[in-house]
Amino acid sequence: MAMTIHVDIVSAEASIYSGLAEFVVVPAEMGEVGIYPRHAPMITRIKPGSVRIKAPERPEEDLIFVSGGILEVQPGVVTILSDTAIRGADLDEARVLEAKRQAEEAVRDRGSAMDYAKAQAELAEAVAQLAAIQKLRKKGR
């Protein structure tokens, strides 16, 4: 049996994932972080993107979209806290494309600096969700 680490992914609404994993890949601010059992303890911010989880005795990785948040790695436990976390299979491409279109429009309109920053964040989140959907499509082939 492979070595494992416990993973918890929690959003503002609910616990999205709780279980064992052989490894986890998280979109940290400075690049993806691969976490295996016995990883050194750490805390870092994460950016919008896909968390990949390889559960033991399952051939495929689970994909969970996170909108950003905090990653904490402790001996034996990985915790991801995110405002929004969505299982990859639950992502709605039509809704994401509409959100991306609206965010692009808001970026072009450039109201106040705060509106512009919010629009940029929403655009980055929509692009990350689309990337997660594309990863799922590749995985399904």
pLDDT in tens, 47-99: 888 899 999 988 888 888 888 899 999 989 999 999 888 886 666 666 766 76
* Cα gap 26→134, rounded to integer Å: 17
Residue 116 pLDDT greater than 70, yes or no: no
Question: Which one-letter DSSP state was computed for residue 30?
Answer: T
Mean local confidence (pLDDT), 22-35: 94
pLDDT at 93: 65
In angstroms, rounded to a whole number, what is the distance separating the alpha carbons of residues 138 and 141?
5
Q: For a pLDDT cut of 70, what percent of the chain falls above it?
A: 74
Please tell me the distance from the alpha carbon of residue 24 to that of residue 74, in angstroms, as a whole number: 13
